[in-house]
């Protein structure tokens, strides 16, 4: 039997962090769960919220680590070990302050770009060769302390664009499941502007 796919959205648990820029990964897996009519459950042994789903004849496990961002790898590593998942079946969705809001970028592997959630995941998986989908959240000011920005909430205008981004990112992950990462990258990587679909 084919191993299930694992899609992990990174973020911070708790009401104070809900819908913040740093929780863009959570927002994406919640959109997928809604689309696939999957129900969330708390899994204490994995320190995660998980939802079991199916798409394109494949079993998919959606995950929101409840460890806080910097320890995300503890939850991911536990799930991967328990379900004995190969690295090519794993995808991590994460916010990226170095990409403009509206841009999504799927890659089959690579560095963390200074993102502590990705660093923790690589440490616990013992590899950087897992797929990651970066969701741009933009930077307001290069010189400004980044923490306040990533932990801030989107404006009403930004939320309207974010909804388009999350829809496109969800479509991209469905393509990843259906046709593989290369097609998903070539078809969906790019930037959505507030006024049109793709640039």
Known catalytic residues are: 22
CA torsion sign for 110, 112, 117, 121 is: positive
Q: Which token pair is 25?
A: 């990964």
d(CA 97, CA 27): 16
Phi, psi angles (nearest 5°) of residue 173: -70, -30
8 A C-beta contact, residue 150 and residue 109: no
HEC string for the chain:
CCCCEEEEECCCCCHHHCCEHHHHHHHHHHHHHHHCCCCEEEEHHHCEEEEEEEECCEEEEEEEECCCHHHHHHHHHHHHHHHCCCHHHEEEEEEECCCCCCEEEEECCCCCCCCHHHHHHHHHHCCCCCEEEEEECCCCCCCCCHHHHHCCECCHHHHHHHHHHHHHHHHHHHHHHHHCHHHHHHHHCEECCCCCCCC
């Amino acid at each position: 039997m084919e191993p299930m796919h694992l899609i992990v959205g990174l973020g911070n648990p708790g009401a104070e962090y809900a819908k913040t820029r740093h929780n863009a990964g959570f927002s994406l897996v919640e959109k997928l769960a809604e689309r696939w009519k999957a129900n969330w459950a708390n899994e204490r042994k994995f320190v995660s919220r998980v939802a079991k789903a199916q798409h394109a004849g494949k079993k998919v496990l959606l995950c929101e680590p409840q460890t806080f961002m910097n320890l995300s790898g503890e939850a991911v590593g536990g799930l991967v070990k328990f379900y004995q998942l190969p690295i090519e079946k794993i995808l991590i969705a994460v916010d990226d302050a170095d990409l403009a809001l509206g841009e999504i970028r799927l890659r089959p592997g690579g560095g963390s770009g200074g993102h502590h959630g990705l660093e923790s995941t690589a440490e616990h998986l013992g590899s950087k060769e897992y797929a990651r989908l970066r969701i741009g959240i933009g930077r307001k000011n290069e010189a400004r302390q980044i923490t306040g920005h990533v932990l801030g909430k989107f404006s009403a205008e930004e939320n309207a664009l974010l909804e388009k981004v999350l829809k496109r990112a969800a479509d991209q992950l469905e393509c990843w499941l259906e046709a593989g990462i290369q097609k998903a990258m070539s078809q969906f990587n790019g930037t959505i502007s507030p006024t049109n679909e793709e640039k």
